Amino acid sequence: MAKLQLAQRQTTYRAMDHYRVRRLGTQLLVFGLFAILTVIAIYPMIWIVTNSLKSDIDLFEQTWALPKEPAGKITNARGSSVSAGTLSTA
């Protein structure tokens, strides 16, 4: 009788271990899927920001490179337009 109960407990523990392994595998698969979807969603935003800082020439010549220096005009607090590379706090 005691051996039968011991055998049933061991079978139950094996089933629980199998369940835990399957659950861990499922969680890792879902986590990996979410990580891939996050990269797919965020990468275009980063690409848009880096391309918005490039000049027209750099945009077409070096599409995948980071901008050498920011392009465009920025208006300071006094309303005058300054180039993005020459901003000062004075």
CA angle 75, 61, 47 (to 5 degrees): 60
Q: What is the pLDDT of residue 21?
A: 83
Tell which wins on pLDDT, 5 or 88. 5
Chain segment 1-45, per-residue pLDDT in tens? 666 666 666 666 676 677 888 899 999 999 999 999 999 999 999
Q: Is 50 exposed, middle or buried (0-12, 13-18, 19+ CB in 10 A)?
A: middle
Quick check: pTM over 0.75? no
AA letter at 60: F
Tell which wins on pLDDT, 36 or 75. 36
What does the mean pLDDT of the chain come to? 76
